Amino acid sequence: MGSRKFILVLCFITIIFFATSLQLFNEVYRKTNTVIDELFHIRQGKAFCEQNFTSWDPKITTLPGLYLVTSLYNSLVFKSKGLVFVFGLSSVMMRQTNVLWVAMVLGHKILDLLIRTSRVFGNQHLSGLHVGKHSLLAKDIDSSKLKRDRAKG
């Protein structure tokens, strides 16, 4: 598969992922403005946005990462207290934060797949890649184990 075709396939997969995520998000939000567990999560999010990190609702079984990221996001992006209140404490913002995390996990999985295939099978897109000695990819690419195209070599 050529380099351009490979990039087009990745772009196509990413577009399908985002379109599907957006469609699911809109469908859920159209049905109801409050999902059952949001009754707990909204209170918890408000506490973290108010920088009350000692408060925790025992009915919540997930780790507090969403709340920490949301509180950091609010303090960095929104300088106005009014905007923090309007955007930071809304359930829509928290739902979109979940979509962002899923997108980051998808990107990580794609990179991990590329690196693993280059180690085992030889990946033409990573085989000829020039990376700096201190880059994140350099430590994961073992060029001695990359298979070379015998027709070229």
Give per-residue pLDDT as tens, 118-135: 655 555 555 555 666 666
63: left (phi over 0), alpha (psi -120 to 50) or beta: beta
d(CA 40, CA 145) in angstroms, rounded, equals 50
Flag whether pLDDT at 20 surpasses 80: yes
Among residues 145, 139, 153, the alpha carbon closest in space to that of 122 is found at: 145
Chain length of the chain: 153
Residue type, 20: T
Q: What percent of the chain has pLDDT over 70?
A: 49
- What pLDDT score was predicted for residue 109? 84
For the chain, the helix, strand and coil percentages under 3-state DSSP, each to the nearest 5: 65, 0, 35
Range name among 24-28, 53-57, 145-149 with the lowest pLDDT average: 145-149
With contact defined as beta carbons under 8 Å apart, do 137 and 129 qualify?
Answer: yes
Q: What radius of gyration do the chain's Cα atoms show?
A: 21
d(CA 114, CA 9) in angstroms, rounded, equals 13
Reported as a pLDDT band with limits 50, 70 and 90, residue 76 is low
> Cβ–Cβ contacts within 10 Å for residue 75, how many?
13
What mean pLDDT, rounded, does the chain reach? 70
